[in-house]
Structure 1
Amino acid sequence: MVSYQLVIDCAAPERMARFWADALRYTVEPPPGGFDTWRDYWRSLGVPEDELGEGDGSDSIVDPEGYGPRIWFQQVPEGKVVKNRFHLDVKVGGKREDVPLETRKARVDAEVERLIQAGASIVRVLSQPGVDHYAVAMVDPEGNEFDVV
């Protein structure tokens, strides 16, 4: 069996973990047993204080159902400068074969509004007359692109 986690470089891991936990309906991963915070855990392993970043160290999220990958937000010093080569599609609309376009559009628009409240911004709407597709391109609080479909 192959196991993996998704790692996303960022400036503010805790903020990104909270945003994406909300966006994906994940939970912020609790620290290992016996530790009040992730900072306490990393200190116990000998990680130097100047490498721990700020806050309590909550920088990873997990799927509460156990199906999706763990996602770790890794703090890096450089900011994002170019378009992502990899992005997530947040799928809320439903399958074309089962759900009419207008219903999918309404579901996507509702999710877009929820994500705007969480800190995302709209880049553009992906829709053309006569094409059975609707999506909204967005960016997270640090400018990483994703689509709501």
Structure 2
Amino acid sequence: MTTNWTLTIDCVDPAVVARFWCTALGYTESDPPEGWDTWEDWLTAMNVPENEWNDGASISDPNGVLPAISFLKVPEPRTTKNRLHLDLQVAGGRAQPQPLREQRIRATAATLITAGATLVREVPAENSTTLDHLWMQDPEGNDFCVV
């Protein structure tokens, strides 16, 4: 038997980081619980103070296939390199011509930089000078790669 799970990203501003990852993954804000028209209605009904409404966020695959991702407000900043990160697989794999792979990687990176990402480093293929992937960070410094 499998276990239901979601990936949770600790952050300072869940709304900002959730919006970034919606752009990066093509996800949408998760729907409020069944029976509620908006998250605000649900939070109000649950007596959650307004100053806590941005303590968490959740995004979902609009097709309902891939796992949801949650964002949880934490008081401490990120201090070390992530041990877990997402690879955005946009290039089509190594069977694709290198110029096409690089074009796809760089186009995605440009979109994500506009959305608040930072380029950390270009990583060449092993024993080569051709681009393999880009190491990037989201608006709060969480690592990910565009491959």
Q: TM-score range by the shorter chain?
A: 0.7 to 0.9
TM-score (norm 1): 0.86
Paired residue type of 1:126: V
Counterpart of 1:140 in structure 2: which amino acid?
D
For residue 44 of structure 1, report the CA deviation from its aligned partner.
2.4
Partner of 2:21: 20
Does residue 105 (structure 1) correspond to residue 106 (structure 2)? The answer is no
Structure 1 segments of 4 or more deviating over 6 A? none
* Aligned equivalent of 2:116: 119
Match of 2:64 in 1: 66
* Aligned-pair CA distance for 1:132: 6.7
> Which of 92, 95, 111 is the equivalent residue of 1:94?
92
Identity %: 42
Deviations 1:2-42 (A, max 9, x none): 32111111010111111001100001112224434324313
**Contact 1:39/1:52 (CA < 8 Å) preserved in 2?**
no
User: Could you state the TM-score of these two structures normalised by the residue count of structure 2?
Assistant: 0.87
Aligned to 1:41: 42
Root-mean-square deviation (Å): 2.1
1:79 aligned to 2:77?
yes
Runs of 5+ consecutive residues of structure 2 not aligned to the other structure? none
Report the number of matched residues. 145
Amino acid at match of 1:77: P
**Aligned AA for 1:14?**
A
Q: Is the 8 A contact 1:20 1:26 kept in 2?
A: yes
Q: Which amino acid aligns with 1:92?
A: V
The DSSP-based 3-state class of the residue aligned with 2:66 is coil
Secondary structure in 2 aligned to 1:59?
Answer: strand
CA displacement at 1:100 relative to structure 2? 1.0
